[in-house]
Amino acid sequence: IPRDLGRAVRCLVEGQSTPIDLGRMGDRYFSTVAAFGFDAEVSAAMAAGRAPFSGTPGYIAQSLRHLRHYQPPIAQLRGAFGQLEQPVFLVASGNTRSYGGGMCIAPHATPHDALFDVCIVEPLSYLQALALLPQVFSGRHIRHPAVRVERTHFLEIGGEAGRLLFADGEYCGQTPLVLEVAPAAVRAILPAL
């Protein structure tokens, strides 16, 4: 959506109404990314007002602060890709490719295919995480050997009970939990091509 008011109104009037998928956890829906692990803990700190400032700069500052003491949880993951049980730095289920002020966590995700692109990052050292963080803004992080992306229409996250899940930057629940794609759940107005 253009930031200019006139162009945004024109987009609304002349745009194309298109069905898009949503993610769902129980009766709660989300449109972009559901995050578990590191990202969820940073989002919780942001929501609690513990970051030095808001927006992307605050998220980056809180990430750097949180890296010093982060302990990766052991996650049990199940989806169309099979089952995994391992420690994870983060798990991000992308209905869309980006979140958090432009971080392209799932660069090939689209809200039109009835699938999540699930970015699974294995535990990283402090220096590895520092090196990988800037790459998330371009989507190049998926080339790192500690990163894998799986596609699935559902994702069960278990393992350590009570670990947080944030979706669209808001608290969504705690493990164990199940995420599902709700295909074509809502119509959105997109700019005319």
In contact, 20 and 186? CB cutoff 8 Å: yes
Q: Is 20 helix (H, G, I), strand (E, B) or coil?
A: strand
Q: What angle do CA 25, 29, 33 make, to 5 degrees?
A: 85
pLDDT of residue 83: 97
Per-residue pLDDT of the chain (193 residues; tens, 9 = 90+): 778 999 889 888 998 999 999 999 999 999 999 999 999 998 888 888 877 777 777 777 888 888 989 999 999 999 999 999 999 999 999 999 998 778 899 999 999 999 999 999 999 999 999 999 889 999 999 999 999 999 999 999 999 899 999 999 899 999 999 999 999 999 998 887 7
Give 40-73 pLDDT, tens digit per residue: 998 888 888 877 777 777 777 888 888 989 999 9
C-alpha distances in angstroms, 81 versus 50, 110, 152, 155, 177?
37, 18, 7, 9, 17
Cβ contacts of 170 within 8 Å, gap of 6 or more: 43, 47
pLDDT of residue 20: 96
